[in-house]
Amino acid sequence: MPKPAPLVLTHRPRRLRRQPGRRALVAETVVRVEDLIAPLFVVDGKGRPEPIASMPGVSRFNIADLVKECRELHALGVPAVALFPKLDSRLKDATGTEALNKKTLILRAVRAVKAAVPELTVITDVALDPYTSHGHDGVLTAAGDDVANDRTVAILCQMAVLQAGAGVDFVAPSDMMDGRVGAIRKALDAAGHTDTGILAYSAKFNSAYYGPFRDAVGSAKAAGTRLLSKATYQMNPANRREAIREVQLDVAEGADIVMVKPAGAYLDIIREVRNNTRTPVAAYQVSGEYAQLHAAAKLGWLDLARCRDESLLAIKRAGADMILTYFAKDVAASLRGAK
């Protein structure tokens, strides 16, 4: 069979893919250790880390072990952690009273972490779902069929001030109540916490991907069901324009960083947000995204490390400046060449 004549081509894009060095030179998107935020779960007591069955490799830490984990993350170059408490059910009630306890778990955890690793950026969740017996992100209306927006916002402001006083760098309202960013900003400033930032969960969707997280903080079973609906305050997954409106409102109210959550199924939203604001954009690769990759890898269907890295690259490529991910430690170790 005669050898075919070479094609006469001016452009051969494959020239840029021939070798790893060439591919690296023209890479358009890079995930850096500095882009990562590690979500961590904290519990009271002195027990060993509690593995979370639905999130392989993720555990709840007591405060001492949390500090140890934060030291390790900082040594790997991870710049920030986001802390979430898992409370004893006996501390929960219908109005989330424990959230305003000046000695509550999350405040003690923040103080310990900031004392041990002051350079680490610490972010805390501002929402009532870890504290309420019904599992909702706020207090309920008199009829008990919805979350009372303005009453909830008043409590969130008090929570934010307490957390700022404990030393957090960013408070992160994840509740999706109307007007809470502006109210929190005013409350922080009035209390003298003008340097405490707000990382707003601006476009947080009513997603089915949150199940493992609700196990982790103990809110999944608070109302006796995994199917607790938060549709009256979290966003409809069908809506894109509404996400931009929510982001713009939060920016106008004083958000320093805006967030899209979840990330993987909402890459189009991340891109829309990136195109419509100059404010830094965070994206949260949520527990369900993490769990599904582990589950498929366990069955031998996917290469965990490659799919992990590709999923994060996609989030960054969509426009996220920073990514909250349960893969943070493993990715940091990989990027740093740690064994």
Q: Structure tokens of 145?
A: 């069929």
Do 253 and 179 contact (CB within 8 A), yes or no?
A: yes
What 8-state DSSP symbol labels residue 87? -
Q: Which of 86, 92, 114, 204 is catalytic?
A: 204
Residues β-bridged to residue 74: none
Do 117 and 110 contact (CB within 8 A), yes or no?
A: no
Amino acid in the structure at residue 149: N
Residue 312 contacts by C-beta under 8 Å, 6 or more apart in sequence? 31, 285, 323, 325, 327, 331
How many residues appear in the chain?
339
Largest separation between any pair of C-alpha atoms in the chain: 85
| Residue 199 to residues 184, 186, 322, Cα–Cα distance (Å) | 11, 15, 11
Q: Sign of the CA dihedral 311, 313, 318, 322? A: positive
Cα angle 254, 171, 144 (rounded to 5 degrees) comes to 95
Q: How many CA atoms lie within 13 A of 192 on its CB side?
A: 3
Q: Structure tokens of 222?
A: 């608070």
Active site residue 204: yes
What 8-state DSSP symbol labels residue 27? -
Q: Which of 86, 92, 114, 261 is catalytic?
A: 261
Residue 33: count other Cβ atoms within 10 Å of its Cβ. 17
Q: Sign of the CA dihedral 249, 252, 255, 257? A: positive
In which residue are the tokens 């949390």 written?
66
Active site residues: 204, 261
